Amino acid sequence: MVFPFKSIEDFKVEINSEHELFRKSVREFLEKNVEPRWKEIEDTNEIPKEIFKEMGEQGFFGIGIPEEYEGQGGGQLMTTILMEEIARIVPSLAVAVGVNHLFTVPILKFGDEHLKKKYIPPIARGEAQGAHASTEPSGGSDVAGIQSRAVKENDHYIINARKVFISGAEKADYFVVPVRTSDPMQNKRWWGITAFAVEKDWPGVKLGQHFKVIGMRGEQPYEVIFDNVKVPAENMIGKENEGFKIIVSTYDFTRIGIAAQAVGIAQAAFEKALNYSLQRELFGKQIINFEMITEKIAHMYTKLEAARLLTYWAASLADAERSEFIIAASLAKSFASDAAEWISREAVQIHGGYGVDQEMGLERYLRDSIITTIYEGTNEIQRLTIARELVRQAFGLKI
């Protein structure tokens, strides 16, 4: 027994040649079509529409979506590789792709066939985009604390909600929106939340404030307001009042994507630091010959590969439908995002003054890495999840 897992066989990472061929094709596309435009994205705070069009033509939006809904299939590990490679070039583009998963995962896992056939294929084809409107001014990680309301009227629900820090909101055609349909039960704060699929062009749905956050330029979040929005009852995802389980289950999967974003950021920062240390000369020799730089490079590489292994492991467990993937996902997300921030900071230090020059394109990785430590549940919340899952899986107890 490898506490709290059952066997050392649980630590397998199921990689094959198809994964590597996919990675190479994604990297080739991104280096040719996206990397030359990173500065334009940073300066304008917008991702050009033609990039999304070209990615749709490549089938990238269908990765992880079953073929029966016009996706490419591929599972969680293939999705992880995609997110990593995109974030290596432009992290905000990985966010723009990732928010689709926040919409498709709950529909695919909990929605009825009507919702799957209506909303999933357009996203898989790259013709529409989804987003996830959960966070409220009162908080985001505490899903049970949602205060927005939906009231049933005949065969519809009327939603009134104010959601904040919603990534992808300006591009989204559809939202997953969790709201309260009942008051919580005693000792069950999570009870009473219901999730709905809401279309952006329905009356009463509007964008509010645009949040100018520290990083992820090109895909920065918005406030989304739902003012007496009339939603058909058939757009309910799963069961009424049990939406909490749907939302937190969604995050169990999608936080692996955040870990993958962090790995991509760490990979880019490491590559730039290593290349610079081989080119930069100081006191007549390359700076990689200085012991302090060598030590930094070695530590950066160690954290990078550990983050990648944790992330691929979590994805492999998810693809194997093992319940242990939940704890692995939190391990991967918290470790990889912390590692990305640390590696990016060290890369800036190695570059010296050039490291904080926006024209160099390095400091953006540090700014973006900070975001990965916060969304999809802060790293403090991930450590709480780890402890709770550890006790639950090992002893069957709740803390």
What is the spatial distance between Cα 181 and Cα 169, in angstroms, rounded to a whole number?
A: 23
Does the active-site annotation cover 68?
Answer: no
Q: Tokens in use for 371?
A: 């975001």
What CA–CA distance (Å, rounded) separates 4 from 392? 10
* CA separation for the pair 152, 384 (Å, rounded): 35
Q: Please state the φ and ψ torsions of residue 212, each to the nearest 5 degrees.
A: -90, 80
Q: Which residue has the tokens 């940073």?
A: 42
DSSP H/E element including 51: helix 49-57
* Phi and psi based region of residue 247 (left: phi greater than 0; alpha: psi -120 to 50; beta: remaining): alpha
- List, in order, residues 6 or more apart from 87 with CB less than 8 Å away: 93, 94, 260, 261, 262, 263, 264, 265, 268, 368
Longest Cα separation, the chain: 80
Q: Which of 84, 219, 376, 389 is labelled catalytic?
A: 376
Query: Does residue 133 contact residue 161 with C-beta atoms inside 8 Å?
Result: yes
Backbone angles phi, psi at 237, to 5 degrees: -100, 115
Amino acid identity at 206: K
Residues 6+ positions from 186 with CB-CB distance below 8 Å: none
Catalytic residues: 376
